[in-house]
Amino acid sequence: MEYRRLGKSGLQVSALSLGSWLTFGKQIDNSVAEELMALAYEQGVNFFDNAEIYARGRSEIVMGEILKKYNWQRDSYIVSSKVFFGYLGKDAKPTQKGLSRKHVVEACEQALKRLQLDYLDLYFCHRPDKETPIEETVWTMHNLIQQGKILYWGTSEWSAQEIMEAHMVAGQHHLIGPVMEQPQYNMLERARVEVEYAQLYKTVGLGTTIWSPLASGVLSGKYNAGFVEETRLSILGMDWLKESALQEEKLEKSRKLTAFAKELGVSLPVLAIAWCLKNQQVSTVILGASKKEQLQENFNALGAQQLLTDEVMNKIEEILQNKPKFPDY
């Protein structure tokens, strides 16, 4: 396993990590979740990603039971949770969601109980909250660190401007600012990581824990011939994801990339994940899997990085035709 610093922090995170969105407590049995975590840990994965909203808290309960059963040394792995949506999702009352001091503190306590942990290594603001001043959220996160409830905090799907505002507040009051951001990043979704955050890597040392490296399964190649049942896109309530993912333009690129990956002697998922790893601003790529075989194959992306020569990267750009442009100013 390869390890990378999480932004400017001293925390070493495995280049590949395991996420639980749409799988733990939802798409897969608990026994499969256990197999996936055990395999990941054996392969050197040290970061397991979760959130209050995943399966309405059940994802964290399942992960907590697995951590308790295996009893790995607590200082050998990293666990995250995220706060914003509330574990009740759309049924959450006003004080059970958002980034107010009340919800951020109570959501942290609830996540610790579900995960059966004394502290969270990483705690993310799952989305920006237009109803709460950033200053309130920054102070709350800082205080949770001071109390030993969390070690690092960060953001997910925040704009560069919002992240900088959080750092300005932190600097003004001598508080601990956000260390990492969790954005979507893959061959089909690039602008935010490659352009919008470009200055943040230099100015505040932003780390990234990217999600959806396979673009919700499109870059697995399984939808090349059309929609497939019994996948994450067929889960109840995922129509919005299905509509976004299964656009013909994206599927056509997937077909071309599948053929190119074959020429290189690897599968499309391995190529897609290796492509994400090639970007040194990516601290870790969060993998999602519903089968042990899928996860095992994904680990081949570590070795496949050496295939990504300048010539190969140029060929991929020719297929994608979506390289983000920096503003002229």
Record the tokens describing residue 249, joined without a space. 């333009």
Is the confidence at residue 25, as pLDDT, over 90? no
pTM for this predicted structure: 0.94
Quick: pLDDT tens for 131-186.
999 999 999 999 999 999 999 999 999 999 999 999 999 999 999 999 999 999 99
CB-count burial class (<10 Å; 0-12, 13-18, 19+) for 295: buried
Q: Please state the φ and ψ torsions of residue 286, each to the nearest 5 degrees.
A: -85, 120
Quick: pLDDT tens for 254-308.
999 999 999 999 999 999 999 999 999 999 999 999 999 999 999 999 999 999 9
pLDDT band of residue 328 (cuts 50, 70, 90) is: confident
Is the confidence at residue 55, as pLDDT, over 70? yes
**What is each CA distance from 76 to 1, 41, 47, 55, 167, in whole angstroms?**
14, 10, 9, 26, 29
Domains along the sequence of the chain with CATH: 3-320 (3.20.20.100)
Residue tagged active-site, from 54, 77, 185, 223: 54
pLDDT at residue 232, as a whole number = 58
Instruction: Dump the DSSP string for 253-321.
Output: HHHHHHHHHHHHTS-HHHHHHHHHHHSTT--EEEE--SSHHHHHHHTTHHHHGGG--HHHHHHHHHHH-
Tell me, yes or no, if 54 is annotated catalytic: yes
User: Would you give the end-to-end CA distance of the chain in angstroms?
Assistant: 40
Average pLDDT over residues 6-23: 94
Instruction: Dump the DSSP string for 157-205.
Output: S--HHHHHHHHHHHHHHT-----EE--B-BTTB-HIIIIITHHHHHHT-
Number of Cβ atoms within 10 Å of the Cβ of 12? 13
**Residues 86, 53 contacting (CB under 8 angstroms):** yes
The amino acid at residue 197 is Y
Record the tokens describing residue 123, joined without a space. 């705690």
pLDDT at residue 238, as a whole number = 64
- Burial string for 222-239 (b: 16+ CB within 10 Å, else e) reads bbbeeeeeebbbeeeeee
**Residues 175, 135 contacting (CB under 8 angstroms):** no
pLDDT over 70 percentage in the chain: 94
How many Å apart are CA 170 and CA 79, to the nearest integer? 24
pLDDT at residue 78, as a whole number = 98
pLDDT at residue 15, as a whole number = 98
Residue 310 CA, chain-centre distance (Å), reads 27
